[in-house]
Chain A
Amino acid sequence: MSFPWAKEYTPSHPAMVWLDEKLPLPRFVYNAIGAGYPVPRNLNYFWNFGVLAGFCLVIQLVTGIVLAMHYAANTGVAFDSTEHIMRDVNWGWLLRYMHANGASAFFVVVYAHIFRGFYFGSYKAPREMIWLLGVLIFLLMMATAFMGYVLPWGQMSFWGAKVITGLFGAIPVVGEPLQIWLLGGFAPDQAALNRFFSLHFLLPFVILGVVILHIWALHIPGSSNPTGVEVKTESDTVPFHPYYTAKDGVGLAVFLFLYFAMVFFAPNALGHPDNYIPANPMSTPAHIVPEWYFWPFYAILRAFTADFFIIPAKLMGVLAMFSAILVWFLLPWLDKSPVRSGTYRPTFKKFYWLLVIDVLVLGYCGGAPAAEPYVMISQIAAMYYFLHFFVVIPVVSAIEKPLPLPFSITEAVLGKDEAATVAPAE
Chain B
Amino acid sequence: MTQTAVADTSDDAAQGVRRRDFIHVAAVSAAGVGAASTLYPLVSQMAPSADVLAESSTEIDISKIQPGQAIKAVFRKQPVFVRNLTPTEIAEAKKVDVGSLRDPQSLDDRTKPGKANWLITMGVCTHLGCVPLGAGEGEVKGEFGGYFCPCHGSSYDTAARIRKGPAPKNLEVPPYEFTSDTVVKIG
Contacts and interface: CB of A to CB of B under 8 A. Distances in A.
Interface residues of B, number: 24
Interface string A181-219: 110111101010001000000000000000000000000
Contact of B128 (A163, A195, A281, A312): A163
Contacts of B145: none
Nearest to B72: A282
B52 A185 contact: yes
Given A163-B128, A305-B166, A184 B52 contact: yes
Contacts of B74: 281-282
A281 B153 CA distance: 19
A340 interface: no
Given A163-B130, A284-B150, A313 B52 contact: no
A313 B102 CA distance: 12
Contacts of A186: 48, 52, 76-78
A409 to B, nearest CB: 50
B153 A191 contact: no
Nearest to A287: B150
B128 A162 contact: yes
Given A180-B48, A314-B166, A282 B76 contact: no
A159 interface: yes
A283 B131 contact: yes
A167 interface: yes
B46 A288 contact: no
B47 A184 contact: yes
A69 interface: no
Contacts of B152: 302, 370
Interface string B107-140: 0000000000000000100011111000000000
A162 B129 contact: yes
Contact of A191 (B49, B72, B166): B49
A184 B128 contact: no
B78 A284 contact: no
B47 A180 contact: yes
A184 B127 contact: no
B79 to A, nearest CB: 5
A191 B52 contact: yes
Given A159-B130, A370-B151, A370-B153, A181 B47 contact: yes
A302 B165 CA distance: 11
Nearest to A162: B129
Interface in A321-343: none
A371 interface: yes
A313 B153 CA distance: 14
A181 to B, nearest CB: 5
Contacts of B129: 162-163, 166, 169, 187
Contacts of B168: 312-314
Interface string B81-110: 000000000000000000000000000000
Interface in A343-373: 370-371
6 contacts: A180-B48, A184-B46, A185-B76, A281-B78, A313-B166, A370-B151
Interface of A: 159, 162-163, 166-167, 169, 180-182, 184-187, 189, 191, 195, 281-284, 286-288, 302, 304-305, 312-314, 317, 370-371
Closest 10 pairs (CB-CB, A-B):
A186-B76, A284-B130, A166-B129, A166-B128, A163-B128, A370-B152, A284-B131, A162-B129, A185-B52, A312-B168
